[in-house]
Structures are given as C-alpha cells and as structure tokens.
Amino acid sequence: MTHSDKFEEIHAPAHWASALINGDYSGLELSDVAALNNWLYQERGKTQLFYCVNVSDETFIARFRGLQTVLATYTFQVSP
C-alpha cells in the first residue's frame, strides 16, 4: 500500500461476500450475479480503482435497492 491508497466502506448484501472477496460466484443464483455485476459496474464508474479487500463478520438487516436484506460492510481500496 502506498500513501495514496484510499479505503472506503460500503454496505452490500452479505451473500455476495465470496464473489466480492474471492471472485467465486458459484453460490449465487443467476439473478444475484446480474444484480452484483450491475452494482459493481455502477460503483466502479465512480473511481479508477475498486477492489474489495475485506468484509466484516457482523451483518445487519436493512434496505438495499429497495429490498430488506442481510447486509455486510465491505472495505474497498479505491482511487479517485
């Protein structure tokens, strides 16, 4: 890591953890894969670098894109 590294915490569905951390989409339904890829496309459009480096062990229930779901806090390395 360099001094210019920036990290951002983002709340997203907990069941996306394996895909975001390990690139393993095998546990997701096709509709979840499409939703995740759409979300990633939108989030990546905001920065030059967008890489998930951590996910919290704790989860909570809240609205995500209009639906109640179990969320986790993900840490992403980003650059403006």
| Closest CA relative to residue 16, chosen from 34, 38, 4, 32 | 32
User: What per-residue confidence (pLDDT) applies to 2?
Assistant: 52
Task: Measure the CA–CA gap between 35 and 39, rounded to whole angstroms.
Answer: 6
User: What per-residue confidence (pLDDT) applies to 69?
Assistant: 95
Is the backbone of residue 66 left (phi > 0), alpha (psi -120 to 50) or beta?
left
Residue 11 burial by Cβ neighbours in a 10 Å radius (0-12, 13-18, 19+): middle
pTM confidence score:
0.82
Q: Per residue in 35-74, pLDDT tens?
A: 998 888 887 776 666 789 999 999 999 999 889 999 999 9
User: What per-residue confidence (pLDDT) applies to 78?
Assistant: 82
Q: Is the pLDDT of residue 4 over 70?
A: no
